[in-house]
Structure 1
């Protein structure tokens, strides 16, 4: 069977999972407030709306746990294909749903698939990507999410003028097509070379590396260097025996596991995802109504797409830490500004606005424009900083030995907190009003402090562990890669000073001394 080996073509197929996640974000944002939706599902109250919205996050959490148990057994590619089939089933149930309970079941199933996509996809990309563009490729996962959100919002907005059940049935049915396309195209993708090596299929691993990074030449220095690293990592893993659950809870791995988990937790607690789900309510608070409200909300998704581009282009130059720290400070600023504007210039609406119980606080005039601007700036900041890096960071900080499982655990934290935030936000708007933004702003303060003290820089570093002593590359044992960065306890704020290129040194060694046989210098 023909194989797709262009790294960007492979990435474009893998990130279809992100596209499907984005579809969910904006479809509900455009659909929840429409008359056909309210009529068909019996005008769901704030708690019911929260349950509908949060159900996909709950399903995604379960999907991550499913991926945890099978990612190392089945491999990355087959698991993604399973996710594609599950998503199609969920989308069909959503489209055919006759009540809230059936809709929630369908969204749980779709979410289960999204959990697989978001835990397995970044792992696969990290394991096939050249290290100098690893951040860029994984950041494309977030870009696909933003494109999915933008595309589905305008589809939902367009069909809303039908004033029929097509308002919500067409958007949910459309999701079936990309999931089916992803399933088929995955047949043409190579297996992860690192997964192949973990199954002692070293010849296949070398061949895949050659196709991906050497133009088919298995003797290319870069291919040989990467193969040697992977092979030695496999030897170390073999000596340690099968991976045990206890290793993930080992105090020696605590910082490593925790920062991967918390980059997802802080991403959800930043408030941006919750506000995207319920953006139409926020603009109702700002005094917008009807089509003006929906058009203003669509600008959010345009900003989301456009402002993810700087992260894709520069994340491998600027690094992870500067973006995370800058993002926390600026998101805190926009959220506190929104809370202040609503408190000072707004007023309460007992019982809710225009029959919408969630909107209990309104602001008008110049202050409303400032609230809308702050919301736009929040999305712009998030899209450039925490959003893409939350996918990059966990996929690159874990060793091959437990990378698949650890990424699944980290991503599950994203979804369980996404579930909580999605469920919490409508009642929060209803009962806390402007204070909701104050809470999210304070979370960003905590996120910034945590990132400064505990999140080391990982840009450009090799995924594999420290090399064993060897007469031709013993100098490489002194260089810091991601494994040693954590093992040596380098202070996070000093980690940028250790930006050595260990794999590059090994490539030079192979070029100077030649290759005796595959993987030996």
Structure 2
């Protein structure tokens, strides 16, 4: 492959413009993740949806919402190996295609079984994308702003969530089944856009060098780090560092999951526990069921969806400060400060719903907004940054798969149980998640890696 061919694939973009274009575009993958998280929250409270599915019970609603995570859990375990074999770019393509099919099943669902099938299939796509996009993102990003680009990626996720809530709100004015079919159909549109876009983005240079496509890999590295100049010192240094790491890894042989736990158990624990607590901290009580939370606080019907939309905007804005702070403050201070704010806001939420006074609706909304902002600033983006950043190339895809699978497992647990627990223990549910926030504060006191390049990290001990 010639340098000219390499430039053609990036449509003339090199350096930071190429880096940010690629990062923002692949964030559409996590946009779909966020959209799918939020789209059901407004739909399940709609009268046309309830009538069409014969007034589903709380348990049936929980299953319809949470079964997406079953598909995501399965694909997140498999996609690491798949991504190593066929490449990051083609994995993104196939993930978007699967997501498109799942969205179509949901859009044209004729009953709960067909809706469940659609949610599982879409989950397979979401699980693949939510696993491979962070790996791809980390492998094209220079060390000094890898954290910033990962946080931008998370903003794409929350942008998807906020968009889904407002789509639900405006579609709630439609007086037909299109009030819930249209929001679900938009999944297909976005899946198609990502699929077509995956045909024009560059492949991961680390994957190319690992598969001995050295010339093509050098072109991509030059375009990303050397402004298109194959003789740029920075680009050639990056090439040598990646290739050396690839050769060392190859000499050691492919690492199994057993090897991964034996040699890198501490890093794997950090990656998995961060994702587990990101869910146990209660975010999907709000993401999946915010209208139900607001209804329990006194908001009624469409007003509950409107409050969810306003909260979504706050949530989105809160993800922007980490762009500038994550590589300055470090990971741990952000996690610890976020945990403290979430403990306070969840406890306040429980208290206000419990006392049930005239100000409860407004105070609950404020508490939810503070909670979402704290999560969006801290435990939202940072856990996605750790796995590809702290795991060496030999186990990076496997480790990212395992940590993402942990996220989906706990995601399913929270999504499945929340409607039932809301009905059974009411305001105490938020105290339970405040307790887990306190636990995450303790885990956050662990010593984390910061400021080291990904390909030098392999030389450190576990």
Would the TM-score normalized by the shorter structure come out above 0.5? yes
Give per-residue Cα distances to partners, 1:70-106, cap 9 Å, x unaligned.
1111111111100011011111110110111110110
> Which residue of structure 1 lines up, in the alignment, with residue 452 of structure 2?
461
Give per-residue Cα distances to partners, 1:101-151, cap 9 Å, x unaligned.
110110111111010111000100100011111111111221111111122
> Which residue of structure 1 lines up, in the alignment, with residue 271 of structure 2?
260
> Which residue of structure 2 lines up, in the alignment, with residue 502 of structure 1?
none
After TM superposition, the score normalised by the length of structure 2 is: 0.94
After TM superposition, the score normalised by the length of structure 1 is: 0.84
> Which residue of structure 2 lines up, in the alignment, with residue 322 of structure 1?
333
Give per-residue Cα distances to partners, 1:2-59, cap 9 Å, x unaligned.
3125011111221111111121122111111111000111111010000001011111
> Which residue of structure 2 lines up, in the alignment, with residue 297 of structure 1?
308
Deviates more, 1:285-294 or 1:185-194: 285-294
Q: Does 1:61 align with 2:53?
A: no
> Which residue of structure 2 lines up, in the alignment, with residue 360 of structure 1?
none
CA distance in 2, matches of 1:70, 1:243: 15
Q: Does 1:166 align with 2:172?
A: no
Q: Does 1:439 align with 2:407?
A: no
> Which residue of structure 2 lines up, in the alignment, with residue 85 of structure 1?
97
> Which residue of structure 1 lines up, in the alignment, with residue 403 of structure 2?
410
Superposed, 1:471-490 pairs within 5 Å as 482-484=457-459, 487=461
CA distance in 2, matches of 1:15, 1:212: 17
CA distance in 2, matches of 1:178, 1:340: 40
Kindly state the Cα deviation for residue 455 of structure 1 after the two structures are TM-superposed.
Answer: 4.2
Please say if residues 286 and 364 of structure 1, whose CA atoms lie closer than 8 Å, have aligned partners that are also in contact.
Answer: no
Kindly state the Cα deviation for residue 234 of structure 1 after the two structures are TM-superposed.
Answer: 1.5
Unpaired runs of at least 5, structure 2:
none
Superposed, 1:488-499 pairs within 5 Å as none
> Which residue of structure 1 lines up, in the alignment, with residue 149 of structure 2?
137
Structure 1 SS opposite 2:172:
helix
CA distance in 2, matches of 1:101, 1:443: 34
Kindly state the Cα deviation for residue 273 of structure 1 after the two structures are TM-superposed.
Answer: 2.0
Give per-residue Cα distances to partners, 1:359-408, cap 9 Å, x unaligned.
xxxx2312332222111100010011110112112121111111111101
Superposed, 1:27-38 pairs within 5 Å as 27-38=39-50
Deviates more, 1:164-173 or 1:136-145: 136-145
Which of 104, 120, 125 does residue 113 from structure 1 map onto?
A: 125
Structure 2 SS opposite 1:278:
helix
**Structure 1 runs (4+) greater than 4 angstroms displaced:** none
Which of 288, 311, 317 does residue 277 from structure 1 map onto?
A: 288
Q: Does 1:428 align with 2:439?
A: no
Structure 2 SS opposite 1:98:
coil
> Which residue of structure 1 lines up, in the alignment, with residue 167 of structure 2?
155
Structure 1 SS opposite 2:368:
helix
CA distance in 2, matches of 1:484, 1:431: 51
Kindly state the Cα deviation for residue 484 of structure 1 after the two structures are TM-superposed.
Answer: 4.8
> Which residue of structure 1 lines up, in the alignment, with residue 9 of structure 2?
3
Please say if residues 38 and 288 of structure 2, whose CA atoms lie closer than 8 Å, have aligned partners that are also in contact.
Answer: yes
Which of 128, 141, 151 does residue 140 from structure 2 map onto?
A: 128
> Which residue of structure 2 lines up, in the alignment, with residue 177 of structure 1?
189
> Which residue of structure 1 lines up, in the alignment, with residue 393 of structure 2?
400
Question: What RMSD, in angstroms, separates the aligned Cα atoms of the two structures?
Answer: 1.4
Please say if residues 334 and 374 of structure 1, whose CA atoms lie closer than 8 Å, have aligned partners that are also in contact.
Answer: yes
Unpaired runs of at least 5, structure 1:
346-362, 466-481, 490-521
Deviates more, 1:374-383 or 1:195-204: 195-204
Aligned length: 450
CA distance in 1, matches of 2:458, 2:63: 41
Please say if residues 172 and 302 of structure 2, whose CA atoms lie closer than 8 Å, have aligned partners that are also in contact.
Answer: no
Kindly state the Cα deviation for residue 201 of structure 1 after the two structures are TM-superposed.
Answer: 2.2
Deviates more, 1:177-186 or 1:103-112: 177-186
Superposed, 1:315-394 pairs within 5 Å as 315-343=326-354, 345=355, 363-394=356-387
Please say if residues 71 and 405 of structure 1, whose CA atoms lie closer than 8 Å, have aligned partners that are also in contact.
Answer: no
CA distance in 2, matches of 1:446, 1:290: 35
CA distance in 2, matches of 1:224, 1:398: 23
CA distance in 1, matches of 2:294, 2:198: 40
Kindly state the Cα deviation for residue 161 of structure 1 after the two structures are TM-superposed.
Answer: 1.2
Q: Does 1:227 align with 2:239?
A: yes
> Which residue of structure 2 lines up, in the alignment, with residue 41 of structure 1?
53
CA distance in 2, matches of 1:88, 1:30: 21
Please say if residues 165 and 305 of structure 2, whose CA atoms lie closer than 8 Å, have aligned partners that are also in contact.
Answer: no
Kindly state the Cα deviation for residue 66 of structure 1 after the two structures are TM-superposed.
Answer: 2.2
CA distance in 2, matches of 1:3, 1:299: 40
